[in-house]
Amino acid sequence: MNNIDKTTAQKIIEKSFEKGRELKLNPLMVVVLDNRGAVKACVAEDGTSPLRFSIAYGKANGAFQMGMGSRALFNRAEQQAYFINAVNALTDGNLVPVPGGILIRNNNKDIIGSIGISGDTSDNDESAAIYGIESVNLIPDIG
């Protein structure tokens, strides 16, 4: 697989929601981007606030555009806030450097998309995303 198709994106989202329910998380918003960085699928659970799409998209987009998970972007922001601020300006504010944005890799380790989740704590968002990716036998890359 060289790209995320609609069916796979939807399965990742459903499994991420499943993990959220298992962990009793707040309602989640999930955005999956394909290998062009375009939105392939996005779904909000009932009860998410309006800003959750922008946050989830910013996590997924930041990971995809920078080629590293948003946890790594978070760590980079702690060390070089000026750099992350500059990159965020280049993306028109569509980079959210906190955990919950993950690269999706195939078995050849190629980046085939990314996911962003928002709704609970960043660590919990990330856990749900990892579960969703692994459930379709793809590789989550948080780093």
Residues contacting residue 8 through CB under 8 Å, at least 6 positions apart? 1, 136, 138
Tokens encoding 6: 């609609």
Alpha carbon separation from 125 to 46, 71, 74, 81, 143 (Å, rounded): 16, 11, 14, 23, 15
Residue pair 127/3 in contact by the 8 Å Cβ criterion: no
Q: How far apart are CA 39 and CA 114, in angstroms?
A: 9
Give me the residues paired with residue 128 across strands: none
Element (H, E) at 6: helix 6-22
Domain boundaries, the chain: 6-28+40-141
* Identity of the amino acid at 94: N
- The domain made up of 6-28+40-141 is a member of CATH 3.30.450.150: yes
pLDDT tens-digit profile, the chain (143 residues):
899 999 999 999 999 999 999 999 999 999 999 999 999 999 999 999 999 999 999 999 999 999 999 999 999 999 999 999 999 999 999 999 999 999 999 999 999 999 999 999 999 999 999 999 999 999 999 98
Using CA atoms, how far apart are residues 117 and 132, in angstroms rounded to an integer?
Answer: 11
